């Protein structure tokens, strides 16, 4: 079958190890099943893998991709939950299973015509969502859903700052937060991205590091080093940062005196559970919220999508169709 894989890793030139071509058909062990992929989406995770982050060399070559929507062996339309883990080993939450992995870390991923996954990882796709829309949800959107509605501890009407305007997680946060009744503010690195964020539903968009009109109840952080100081400064006393990524680096100065003096909370968040993915699908169905899709490309042209993400030239999700 045709698939897009990481054949090698290169910290500085991630696209050097990207290969598109024939790969063996997936084999589904006991308890697993095979999904025919109708749409898959790109995540920054795929670039991290090509840079050698979070992947061990003995797994290469490995098919990339965490996210897919498709058709199962019985003809049902499904969305694939990307977290491969045992809820029992994580106290009822598979993201806390110490042995968990994401598709494309230990097992072949979704940028392929077919993918093998545990049966429990299939979630029914609502008819109201297209395959392309549904394929955006399992990683970036699920992460945003858990950050906002599980980890942030907010009531509707609260003000939330999202660092970054254009990314998969950032656009999901704005769309979900707006629909959830929060006042959503973003920072974005270009005038164009800030304007797009406002079109998407952000109440205001600011330059990185800008002084805000008032302090916010919570900050959603995926950028890391480049924005961390601003995130801490932007919080009201008792406010909370929810962090799920560190695209620009993960060791900024912690500014501990601000953390304790203003009694701030810093909460980590990773992906979400299968049940949260099912609730996210229902949320989209109920509210009419849909993922912002930057472009849909045939899987054979995947390199173009990877290059756009690497250059930061996107707004929303990049989707591939096999």
Ligand X SMILES: NC(=O)c1ccc[n+]([C@@H]2O[C@H](COP(=O)([O-])OP(=O)(O)OC[C@H]3O[C@@H](n4cnc5c(N)ncnc54)[C@H](OP(=O)(O)O)[C@@H]3O)[C@@H](O)[C@H]2O)c1
Residue 173, interface with ligand X (CB under 6 A)?
Answer: no
**Count of CB atoms within 10 A of residue 259's CB?**
15
Structure tokens at 259: 């953390």
Residue 44, interface with ligand X (CB under 6 A)?
Answer: yes
**61 phi and psi, to 5 degrees?**
-75, 150
Closest CA to 95 of 223, 275, 280: 275
CA distance 144 to 177: 9
Among 31-39, 219-227, 228-236, 252-260, the segment contacting ligand X (CB under 6 A): 219-227
Residue 135, interface with ligand X (CB under 6 A)?
Answer: no
Q: Which of 39, 82, 152, 223 binds ligand X (CB under 6 A)?
A: 223
Residue 65, interface with ligand X (CB under 6 A)?
Answer: no
Among 42-50, 117-125, 149-157, 213-221, the segment contacting ligand X (CB under 6 A): 42-50
CA distance 295 to 318: 5
Residue 101, interface with ligand X (CB under 6 A)?
Answer: no
Q: Where are the alpha helices (DSSP H) in the chain?
A: 44-51, 131-134, 142-146, 168-179, 191-200, 228-234, 256-261, 274-287, 302-311
Nearer to ligand X, 26 or 69 (CB): 69
Q: Site residues for ligand X, window 302-321 (CB under 6 A)?
A: 309, 312
Residue 110, interface with ligand X (CB under 6 A)?
Answer: no
Q: Quick one: residue 109, left, alpha or beta (phi over 0 = left, psi -120 to 50 = alpha)?
A: beta
Nearer to ligand X, 18 or 114 (CB): 18
* Contact partners, residue 153, CB within 8 Å, separation at least 6: 218, 240
Q: Which of 70, 164, 305, 322 binds ligand X (CB under 6 A)?
A: 164
Residue 137, interface with ligand X (CB under 6 A)?
Answer: no
Residue 154, interface with ligand X (CB under 6 A)?
Answer: no
Using CB under 6 A, list all residues that contact ligand X. Answer: 43-45, 48, 139-140, 143, 164-170, 188-189, 193, 222-223, 226, 244-245, 247-248, 270-271, 309, 312
């Amino acid at each position: 079958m045709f698939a897009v894989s990481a054949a090698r890793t290169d910290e500085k030139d991630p696209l050097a190890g990207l290969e598109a071509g024939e790969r063996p058909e997936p084999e589904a062990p006991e308890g697993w099943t095979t999904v025919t992929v109708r749409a898959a989406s790109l995540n920054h995770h795929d670039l991290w893998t090509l840079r050698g982050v979070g992947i061990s060399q003995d797994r290469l070559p490995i098919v990339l991709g965490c996210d897919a929507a498709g058709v199962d062996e019985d003809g049902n339309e499904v969305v694939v939950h990307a977290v491969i883990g045992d809820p029992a080993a994580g106290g009822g939450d598979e993201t806390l299973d110490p042995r968990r992995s994401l598709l494309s870390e230990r097992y072949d991923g979704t940028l392929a015509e077919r993918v093998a996954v545990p049966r429990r990882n299939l979630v029914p796709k609502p008819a109201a969502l297209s395959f392309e829309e549904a394929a955006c949800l399992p990683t970036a959107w699920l992460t945003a859903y858990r950050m906002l509605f599980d980890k942030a501890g907010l009531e509707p009407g609260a003000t939330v700052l999202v660092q970054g305007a254009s990314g998969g997680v950032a656009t999901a946060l704005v769309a979900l937060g707006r629909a959830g009744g929060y006042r959503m503010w973003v920072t974005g690195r270009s005038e164009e991205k800030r304007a797009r964020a406002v079109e998407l539903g952000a109440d205001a968009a600011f330059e990185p590091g800008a002084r805000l009109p008032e302090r916010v109840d919570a900050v959603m952080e995926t950028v890391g080093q480049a924005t961390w100081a601003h995130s801490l400064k932007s919080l009201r006393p008792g406010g909370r940062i929810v962090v799920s990524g560190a695209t620009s680096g993960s060791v900024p100065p912690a500014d501990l005196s601000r953390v304790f003096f203003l009694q701030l909370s810093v909460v980590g968040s990773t992906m979400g559970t299968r049940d949260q993915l099912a609730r996210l699908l229902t949320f989209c169905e109920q509210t009419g919220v849909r993922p912002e899709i930057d472009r849909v490309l045939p899987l054979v042209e995947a390199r173009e999508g990877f290059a756009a993400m690497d250059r930061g030239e996107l707004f929303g999700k990049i989707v591939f169709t096999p």
